[in-house]
Structure 1
């Protein structure tokens, strides 16, 4: 899911999102115990129970995110009113999601199914009624910024390799968006309710650009290499590529904490349970099992990258170039052809490394 452009959400036009969202599903399954624990901690409060998943996306991960809470509440308080809200932008594939909700792998085939609703909009605005959410989740979504980014950045397509004024301005936007997101959720949470944000993070690393190692640096640097080669070959317009930057920021634990240490008012709204960045076991290369087959390995990376990046590339690179006599579909096909070729030849040189930011907040009772 992407908040990078409110008029062109990232799930719009995604290619086989569910088939290529293995990391998202595994992430939800890996946090099932945490979600169940939070659900248990609010089960006996007087309010009706609700779990809202912000930036849910259209895939099976959205089902697996809410299932642990439903299982916990069904066991502990079977007579309580329970509801689920899937929240995302208008361009999300809602038909695909609701088909999964109602299908064999969904959660409606239980004795007392929950009420199901969808909140359509940006999570940088209000999405659900005041004090209606018992447990809020937001997985792999809050790293996308509220608006697109455009800087004089000819050497990179992403935030982590920005330097100078461009980096300072990008961080200013990212910090403002993080605070805004948390303030809005505080209005929607019930007193005593929990917000669980788990998204892509970054860690300090001496010697790296800006002394920070950000998740997915291999993938983004691979995309920069392809952008550069297509620009040099005259397929992409240099005035476009020199100013394109993905509208996202992967927070370090310290950056996430700063929002509570400054005069944002968040410390008056939340008790902080957890703010940490956790490394993924094995370095996070979810496709390492395909290394013996470079063709399949490269194909997996293409599918994974298309699922989250294709819409941003179309809006930020291909469509602006289209006005210069190019064909968007052909540009996208050529981009990912070169991308796949790069992974076939270089394999682990551009492997996906992952660090996950984990934030658990409790809404204060007063």
Structure 2
């Protein structure tokens, strides 16, 4: 029995949909990291009952932080993207969180920059507030530790392929960190959208991008670049095809980042069919209904027809799908207008 819905939502379902093939299915993945982070901050005295917790979000983290604050009777303030829809607004309001949205902008980079700038203003206006810094504070890794141990115990294998969106770095990075203590060999594949600065694809845009949550337009300090063995940049069309095929094959209704991961999992599985594979499914597909699942949309591409473009340099990046053997290298996201290259030191 759970004392709060947030506790239940931290626990994903590990679904064995085929031999050696698993989906780690969350209803809303960031609840795990937000709740563990809030409880750690409370236990260390960093925040208390009078503290307002504030952060920037395009949607999922806003819901997660609001739930964690609701459980512990804390104040919550969200500086949100214009992508926050009416359904989430209603939930935030009833959960007691306050929301302010930045003005509409022409790019993901501008949207994220405006949100961070507004947080700085808010902190100056409210000096006792605590900025959760979901993109930079390693406290968000904590929520995935027990989940990683569960994966290792359930699968009980000496080798595992882990596939998940990079995003803020806490989820796939946190799972990988603990899995590598429990399993002899863990190969980690990270998923990125085109246009993300996190792994150097900012010069290649995807006109249909709707999976910005697994990428970034500003540097994220929580990304452990050395955790990744392979990086795949996946277009909206490939991700949509993967999401629809996942639902057909397994009955799992998931979002676009999971669809991108399912396409990549198909390719990884072709090369290592005997190695157990775990795909992280971050959320459900409800908010993608009109863009991905609605009737009347173009037919999805068969996964069997999709193959990644194997690259060695960022200059070779190309839609609809590119992949690179990352080899656990450090990386520094490029300054605006400068070329990016693997092998540099990481800066947050």
Name the TM-score class by shorter chain.
0.3 to 0.5
TM-score by length of 2: 0.36
Q: Over alpha carbons, which structure has the higher Rg? A: 1
Structure number with higher helix proportion: 1
TM-score by length of 1: 0.35
Larger relative contact order (Cα-Cα within 8 Å, sequence gap ≥ 6) = 1
